[in-house]
Amino acid sequence: MFIKKEKFLIISRTFFDKLYLRKWGNIMKNKMITSRDIDFAKWYTDIVLNARLAAYSNVKGCIILEPKGYAIWENIQKVLDKKFKELGHQNVYMPLFIPENLLNKESDHVEGFAPEVAWVTKGGSKELEEKLCVRPTSETLFCDHFAKIVTSYRDLPKLYNQWCSVVRWEKETRPFLRTREFLWQEGHTIHETKEEAEKEAYQMLEVYKDLFENYLAIPVITGQKTEKEKFAGAEYTLTVEALMYNGVSLQSATSHYLGQNFSIPFNIKFTNRNNELEYVYQTSWGTTTRIIGAIIMVHGDDNGLVLPPFIAPQQVVIIPIGKEKEVIEKAKEINQTLNENNIVSFIDDSDKTPGFKFAEHEMNGIPIRIEIGPKDLANNQIIIVRRDNYKKEVIPLDIDIVQKIKDTMTIMHKDMFNKAKERNESKTYVCRNMQEVEDVMKTNPGFVKAMWCGKEECETKFKEIKGMKSRCIPFEQEQLDDKCICCGKKAKHMVIWGIQY
Amino acid sequence: MFIKKEKFLIISRTFFDKLYLRKWGNIMKNKMITSRDIDFAKWYTDIVLNARLAAYSNVKGCIILEPKGYAIWENIQKVLDKKFKELGHQNVYMPLFIPENLLNKESDHVEGFAPEVAWVTKGGSKELEEKLCVRPTSETLFCDHFAKIVTSYRDLPKLYNQWCSVVRWEKETRPFLRTREFLWQEGHTIHETKEEAEKEAYQMLEVYKDLFENYLAIPVITGQKTEKEKFAGAEYTLTVEALMYNGVSLQSATSHYLGQNFSIPFNIKFTNRNNELEYVYQTSWGTTTRIIGAIIMVHGDDNGLVLPPFIAPQQVVIIPIGKEKEVIEKAKEINQTLNENNIVSFIDDSDKTPGFKFAEHEMNGIPIRIEIGPKDLANNQIIIVRRDNYKKEVIPLDIDIVQKIKDTMTIMHKDMFNKAKERNESKTYVCRNMQEVEDVMKTNPGFVKAMWCGKEECETKFKEIKGMKSRCIPFEQEQLDDKCICCGKKAKHMVIWGIQY
C-alpha cells in the first residue's frame, strides 16, 4: 500500500504536476483563490487571508499582522535598520500622544493631519484638560525635543529614526495598503546647513530605492512630488513610486526636505560657525507595512503569494516524498547544510500529501521548493522548483547545493525584477493629449508620461480620468513635447501620472 | 605646551586620577550628580537625564527614549527575541485599540484595568459610536483572534509574542519605572492541556531569570504572586523580583497562567483528541523598559551609570592621550580588532581633555575604558580601566587583546552580579513578628522573609509599614516558623515582603 502510493506520487509528480496535484492540493485546502485577472481586489484579499499574512480584527479599519506577515516586516526592518545605522542614524522612541497645542504649531501640517486623527479625551475616569491625538506622524514631537537639546552647531546633525505604529482615521481601508493603524519607521534629522539637509533627503530616498530594487525585486520610479501632492509642512517631497500588476500605482516611500518650516515655529535655533543664531534645516522620511501590499501585487499569481528570495522569512521548503528513512535523512541533511549557510530552510514532513504541501507552500510564497523522493535518491539527485516561474530543475547531489540555491535565488531575484520592469514598461504610456490619457487608462491602466506646465488647474484636470493624480516629477526627465498636455502652454516638467492606492 | 600637557596628564593619571581628573571632568561638564546615599530618587533622575537615557516630553507622564536608552532596550530585545524564537514563538502585531465591549468580556480583567486606561472617543471630527481604549495589555485582542483561528487540537499550541507600547493612565510617574506609555513585549500562548500551558508559564519565567542574571547581572528571586497581587484575570502569576540599591524591590517580569479564565468568555474552543469540544489553556507573560531602571538602580554609582558588559550598547571606549600619530594609529588598530571580534568598541579622539572624557564615559556607563598614551606605547602597553570598580590594569601589547577584553567582561559580569547578590543578602531579613519588620524597614529597608497563613487580612497588615506588599511566595521555601507572622495561626508559606516601585 505504501509503495503503491509512493509510485503513484512519483508518476503524478512527473506527468500531472500542474494539472492534478496543484488542483488537488487546492481542493483539499478548500482555498481556491480568485484569479487576479478576474477580480484583482478579491484576489488580493484572498492572498492576504489565505497566505496568513494578516487577519481582520474586531477594531474597524485595523488589521492583525499574523506571524507570516509580521516576519516579512521584520526582514524589511533588518535591511533598513542596518542601513540607517551604517549611515549614522540612531533609534529613539517618542510618545504615542501629541497634545493638541503641539500639533497646531505648524499650520500646513495641522491642516493636513487634523481631519484624520484619533483623539484621546479621557484618561481613567477623568476628562483630560487638553485632548491628545494619537500620533499620525511625529514631526511635532521630534521638533519639540530638538528645540530642547540643540544649542550649537556642535550638537548637529541629529540623525534620529523611530520604529512604531501611527494612526490615521481613514474612511475606506484595505489590508496593508490603507489601515487606521499601521507600522512604519519615521526618520527625523536636523542639520546645520540647507545643503546637508537636502543631501540627507536624497540619500534616504536612495536607501528606499535600494530596498525596493535589490531586496523586494520591485522596480521603482524616483522623483519629486508636485506642490499639491507634497507632505503637509514640507518644502518638497521626494518619492518612490511603484506600479502594481493591475496598473495602479503605489507611493511606496517618501523623503521630505522640511527646510526651516518646522524649526521656525518650534524655535529650534543653534549658534552657527559664525556665532550667529540660526534655525536648523530638517528632513523626515518614512516607509510602512504597505510595502507588504506591494510585494503581493507586484509578484503574486493565481496560486498565491510569491516572495522575493532576499526578503522571504523562509526561503526554501524541503518536501520528502514518502516516509522512507533514507529520504527523510537526506532531507534533514540538506536542511541542516542550508541553514548552516544562512539560507532559511525547513522540512515539511507532515502527514499531508505532497500535492497538498506543494499548493500550501506556493500559497505562502516560499521561493524555492526542494523535492526528494526514493527515485531521486536512487538516481543521486533532487528536484528544485522555483516559485516564480514553476521551473523545475534536476540537481545531482554531488554538486555544491548551497551554491546552487544561492545562485538560483540570485537569478530568481533578477528574473522577478525584470518581469515586473517589463510589465511596467508595457503599461507606461507617452500621451500628448487628454484623450489619449483617457483611452489608455480605459483599456489597460498604468503610468502616463506627459508634459505639464506646473499649474494646479492642469494637474487637477487628471482627476476626472478615474481619479488620476500626478505620481511624481521623475528625476529622469524626457523632453516629450514643449507644451503642457492640458492647457497647451509652455511645459515645465515631464510628470508621471497614475491611479493610486 | 603640548608635551607639558601630555606629561601632566600622564602624571595626574597615575597619581590624582580619582581625586583630580574625575572631579575636573565633572566640573567641566557641569553635571555633578547627587550622591545616591544622600538622595536616591534625585540620584536616579540625574543619571537618567545626564547619561541621556531618556528625556521628559511635553506629554505628561510620557518619556522620550533617547538613543542611549533605546539602544539598551534594543539589546534586551535581541536577547529575548532570539530566545523566544528558539522556543518556537512567533511575533505578531495586534491593534493598538480595544473596543469597550471586548475589554469588558473578562470581568476581573476589566475591573483591574478599566480605571487606568486612556479612551479614544473621537476619530477625525466625529464622535465614535463605541469608545476605544488604548491597549493597557492585549489579552482581549489575542483571545478574540484565537477564537477565530483555532478549531482543532491540530491548531495548537499557538505561541505568539508582540513587541509594542502600552498605555496605563498612572497618576504618579517616574522615568522607566512607571510611565503612562511604556515599551514592552507581551507573550500570549494557548495550549491543548493545562499541563502544557503551566509548563510554558514556568519556562518563560526561566527565560526572564536568565536575562536578568546572565545578561543584566541582576540577581532575582522567582516565585508566585499571592492571590491579591496576581494579574487581573490570571489563575496565578509567576514573578521575577529584584532588589534595588536602596532596598526597594522591583517586579521585573511576570508570567501568568490564565487557565480557562479567558478562553471561556471569549469562546476559544477546540476539538480535542477525544473528539470533544474543550476550552484552551492559556498563558501570558511580559517584561518592560522598566528593566532599564533596574540596571540603573542595581549597578549605578555616584559617577553615573554602570552598564553590565553583555547588554551594553557600547562595551569599550578607547581614549588616546594626546594627539601623537602613533598613539592614534594604535588606538585605531585596537578599535578595529575589537570590532571585528564582536566587541562593540569606539574611539573618543574629540578635542575634550582626557579627564573630561573619563568622566563622560563613566557617566554613560561604558564597561571598559582603554587608555593609550605615548609613554604607554613606549613601554609597549595599554591601560584598561573597569567601570564597575575602577580597577586599572596595565596590559602588555603582545598579549591577545580580544581575549583579554572578553575575559575582563566575563569577570566584570560575575563581580557585578556577586556584588548585587551580597548586597541583597545583607538587606534580606528573617522576621518573626511585625515589630521586627518595622524595625528593619525603618533602618535599612530590603526584603523581609516571613511566614504567612495565606489570609488577605494578614497580607494587608504589611501595608501599614511603609506601604509594604508581598513580593512573592518564593519557589525556594524555608520553614522559618510554623506560625503566621501576623495572626499567629498555622503558616502556609514563607513569603518575601518589600516596598515596591
- pLDDT per position as a tens digit, B263-282: 999 999 999 999 999 999 99
Amino acid at B201: A
Which range among A211-215, A363-367, B57-61 shows the weakest confidence by mean pLDDT? B57-61
A47 within some domain: no
In this structure, the number of other CB atoms found within 10 A of the CB of residue A407 comes to 11
pLDDT given for residue A107 in this prediction? 85
In chain B, what's the furthest Cα-to-Cα distance?
Answer: 89
What burial letters (b/e) apply to B334-358, b meaning 16+ CB within 10 Å? bbeebeeeebebebbbeebbbbbbb
Q: Are residues B259 and B176 in the same domain?
A: yes
Is A95's CB within 8 Å of B124's CB?
A: no
Chain B residues closer than 8 Å to A67 by CB? 90-92, 160
pLDDT given for residue B21 in this prediction? 41
Chain A residues closer than 8 Å to B90 by CB? 67, 70-71
Q: What's the angle, vertex CA A261, arms to CA A255 and CA A266, rounded to 5?
A: 115
> What DSSP string runs through A444-456?
S--EEEEEE-S-H
Chain B residues closer than 8 Å to A121 by CB? 119-122
Mutate to test the interface with B, among A73, A82, A119 (most CBs of B within 10 A): A119
How many whole angstroms separate alpha carbon A407 and alpha carbon A410?
Answer: 5
CB B65 within 8 A of CB A92: yes
A421 within some domain: no
How many whole angstroms separate alpha carbon B298 and alpha carbon A320?
Answer: 53
For A58-106, write each residue's pLDDT tens digit.
999 999 999 999 999 999 999 999 999 999 999 999 999 999 999 998 8
Is A119's CB within 8 Å of B117's CB?
A: no
A40 within some domain: no
Q: What's the angle, vertex CA A124, arms to CA A119 and CA A126, rounded to 5?
A: 75
How many whole angstroms separate alpha carbon B141 and alpha carbon B148?
Answer: 11
Q: Are residues B128 and B273 in the same domain?
A: yes
How many whole angstroms separate alpha carbon B211 and alpha carbon B80?
Answer: 7
CB A354 within 8 A of CB A321: yes
How many whole angstroms separate alpha carbon A479 and alpha carbon A271?
Answer: 45
pLDDT given for residue A17 in this prediction? 42
Q: What's the angle, vertex CA B165, arms to CA B162 and CA B168, rounded to 5?
A: 125
How many whole angstroms separate alpha carbon B424 and alpha carbon A153?
Answer: 46
| Mean pLDDT of all residues in B236-260 | 98
Is B63's CB within 8 Å of A95's CB?
A: yes
Amino acid at A232: A
By CB atoms closer than 10 A (0-12, 13-18, 19+), residue A172 is exposed
How many whole angstroms separate alpha carbon B478 and alpha carbon B447?
Answer: 15
Q: Are residues B392 and B434 in the same domain?
A: no
How many whole angstroms separate alpha carbon B36 and alpha carbon B43?
Answer: 5
Which residue is associated with the grid cell 547581572? B217
Chain A residues closer than 8 Å to B267 by CB? none
At which of B244, B273, B299 does a domain end? Answer: B299
Does the structure show a pLDDT above 80 at B25?
A: no
B44 within some domain: no
DSSP H helices in A300-400: 325-340, 354-363, 374-378
pLDDT given for residue A411 in this prediction? 98
Grid coordinates given for B150 = 483555532
Q: Are residues A292 and A322 in the same domain?
A: no
Between A1 and A94, name the one with better pLDDT. A94
| Mean pLDDT of all residues in A185-197 | 98
Does the structure show a pLDDT above 70 at B30?
A: no
How many whole angstroms separate alpha carbon A74 and alpha carbon A71?
Answer: 5
Domain count, chain A: 3
Amino acid at B454: G
State how far Cα B166 lies from the chain centre. 17
Q: Are residues A354 and A295 in the same domain?
A: no
Is A70's CB within 8 Å of B58's CB?
A: no
C-alpha dihedral (B204, B206, B212, B218), degrees to nearest 10: 140
Grid coordinates given for B310 = 553583555
Chain B: give the shortest CA distance to residue A494, in Å.
36
Is A120's CB within 8 Å of B117's CB?
A: no
| Mean pLDDT of all residues in B279-295 | 98
pLDDT confidence tier of residue B125, bands split at 50, 70 and 90: confident
B353 within some domain: yes
pLDDT given for residue A32 in this prediction? 77
Does the structure show a pLDDT above 80 at B120?
A: yes
CB A309 within 8 A of CB A409: yes
Residue B68 CB partners (closer than 8 Å, separation 6+): B51, B52, B53, B313, B364
Grid coordinates given for B153 = 487540537
pLDDT given for residue A13 in this prediction? 41
CB A184 within 8 A of CB A216: no
For B355-403, write each residue's pLDDT tens digit.
999 999 999 999 999 999 999 999 999 999 999 999 999 999 999 999 9
Does the structure show a pLDDT above 70 at B8?
A: no
**Which whole-number Å values give the CA distances from A13 to A2, A31, A383, in the listed order?**
16, 21, 11
Q: Are residues B368 and B227 in the same domain?
A: no
Is A123's CB within 8 Å of B99's CB?
A: no
Q: Tally C-beta pairs within 8 A across A and B.
A: 150
Does the structure show a pLDDT above 90 at A304?
A: yes
Is B95's CB within 8 Å of A144's CB?
A: no
Is B118's CB within 8 Å of A120's CB?
A: yes
Chain A residues closer than 8 Å to B145 by CB? 55, 57, 64
A64, A91, A92 member nearest B95 (Cβ): A64
Question: In residues, how long is chain A?
Answer: 501
What burial letters (b/e) apply to A134-158, b meaning 16+ CB within 10 Å? bbbbbbbbbbbbbbeebeebeebbb
Amino acid at A187: G
CATH assignment of the domain containing B435: 3.30.110.30
B43 within some domain: no
pLDDT given for residue B31 in this prediction? 58
Does the structure show a pLDDT above 90 at A481?
A: yes
Side-chain-facing half-sphere of A410: CA atoms under 13 Å: 6
Q: Are residues A274 and A328 in the same domain?
A: no
Q: Are residues A285 and A240 in the same domain?
A: yes
Q: Are residues B243 and B330 in the same domain?
A: no
Q: Are residues A376 and A436 in the same domain?
A: no
Mutate to test the interface with B, among A49, A52, A59 (most CBs of B within 10 A): A59
CB A2 within 8 A of CB A365: no
Report the run of H or E that residue A72 belongs to, with start and end: helix A67-86
In chain A, what's the furthest Cα-to-Cα distance?
Answer: 89
Mutate to test the interface with B, among A53, A70, A85, A93 (most CBs of B within 10 A): A93
pLDDT given for residue A31 in this prediction? 58
CB B72 within 8 A of CB B307: yes
At which of B389, B406, B422 does a domain end? Answer: B422
Residue A106 has φ and ψ, to the nearest 5°, of -105, 120
At which of B363, B387, B422 does a domain end? Answer: B422
Is B67's CB within 8 Å of A92's CB?
A: yes
In this structure, the number of other CB atoms found within 10 A of the CB of residue B428 comes to 17
What is chain A's percent helix, strand, coil content, to nearest 5?
40, 30, 35
Chain B residues closer than 8 Å to A73 by CB? 93
How many whole angstroms separate alpha carbon B415 and alpha carbon B39?
Answer: 26
pLDDT given for residue B17 in this prediction? 42
Residue B152 CB partners (closer than 8 Å, separation 6+): B270, B271
pLDDT confidence tier of residue B5, bands split at 50, 70 and 90: very low
B38 within some domain: no
Q: Are residues A345 and A246 in the same domain?
A: no
Nearest alpha carbon to residue B140 among B224, B44, B261: B261
Q: Are residues A295 and A328 in the same domain?
A: no
Is A98's CB within 8 Å of B59's CB?
A: yes
CB A145 within 8 A of CB A178: no
B42 within some domain: no
Domain of B323, in residue numbers: 2-29+308-422
A58, A71, A122 member nearest B99 (Cβ): A58
pLDDT confidence tier of residue B14, bands split at 50, 70 and 90: very low
Mutate to test the interface with A, among B62, B73, B120 (most CBs of A within 10 A): B120
| Mean pLDDT of all residues in B321-349 | 96
CATH assignment of the domain containing B357: 3.40.50.800
How many whole angstroms separate alpha carbon A264 and alpha carbon A280?
Answer: 8
Question: How high does pLDDT run on average in chain A?
Answer: 93
CB A442 within 8 A of CB A431: no
Side-chain-facing half-sphere of A221: CA atoms under 13 Å: 31
Grid coordinates given for B32 = 555633578
Question: How high does pLDDT run on average in chain B?
Answer: 93
**Which whole-number Å values give the CA distances from B91 to A491, B19, B185, B288, in the listed order?**
51, 51, 10, 16
